[in-house]
Amino acid sequence: MKILIIEDEARIALQVQQGLEEQGHIAVVAYDGITGKKLALQNDYDLVISDIILPQLNGIEVCREIRQAKPELPIILLTALGTTDDKVEGFDAGADDYLVKPFDFRELLVRIRAVMNRKTGRSTAQQTILKYADLELNNQTKTVSRSGNPISLTPKELRLLEYMLQNRERVLSRAEIAEKVWETHFDTGTNFIDVYINYLRKKIDKDFAIKLIHTKPGLGFIFKEEK
């Protein structure tokens, strides 16, 4: 693969670049956000790995602008920030995964494989339109509506809703959602999955008498038509 690394710490950038090249990939490094964004938009890459704290333009903005121009390009964020709010901000910007520094290079390789496998699987098995009750999700246009009313979702909210629609009327544990939607193991020290469920619930259910997203205490969540 051809991979873009956006990292201002030369030591980390070099380690990641050398590690990827040893795996047979082509790795290009940018040391600031502006340069990284330009390279990502002007060239074809299979994956972008970006730090968040960058000179000139931070990684969140870089991620957001890349995602707008190239919706299918996988992005992994690297950062020393690991709180729930930080992760939510990164995912909302369009990141596919989030790795907290310091990290073992082998873990980065696992995350890369997971992100790329997910991209391959989604491109070959993705349904164009998913419907349940009065809700409709169009994967081609990335739009959602309920009773004909458009609903604006972030990329991760959209992916979460898609997975729940694909597994409707079945209880989904937090661990399963973390693995299938975020391609990561559930961290019991953070509540970002609950945060996203609440975000989605407010947008999908708030103005409707019939609720679709329900909590099953001690078990997880279920997408089901129920008052």
In the chain, the domains with their CATH numbers are 2-124 (3.40.50.2300), 127-226 (1.10.10.10)
Give the model's confidence band at 82: pLDDT under 50 very low, under 70 low, under 90 confident, else very high.
Answer: low
**Each residue's pLDDT tens digit, 60-78:** 999 999 988 888 899 999 8
- Coil, helix or strand for 44? coil
Q: Which residue has the tokens 């992994």?
A: 76
Check whether 115 has a pLDDT greater than 50: yes
DSSP-assigned beta bridge partners for residue 97: 76
Cα(first)–Cα(last) distance of the chain, in Å?
49
Contact 33, 55 (CB under 8 A): yes
- Look at residue 142 in the predicted model and tell me its pLDDT: 85
Nearest-CA neighbor of 126 among 159, 93, 156, 172? 159
CA 139/CA 87 separation, integer angstroms: 24
CB 214 within 8 A of CB 222: yes
Q: What is the pLDDT of residue 188?
A: 54
CA distance 220 to 217: 6
Label residue 190 by pLDDT band (50, 70, 90): low
Note the pLDDT of residue 124. Answer: 43
Q: pTM for the full model?
A: 0.61
User: Which range (61-75, 80-94, 203-217) has the least confidence?
Assistant: 80-94
pLDDT tens digit string along 23-52? 899 999 999 999 999 999 999 999 999 999
CB atoms within 10 A of CB 102: 7
Q: What is the bridge-based pairing of β-strands 135-138 and 129-132? A: antiparallel
* Helix and strand numbers, DSSP H then E, in the chain: 8, 11
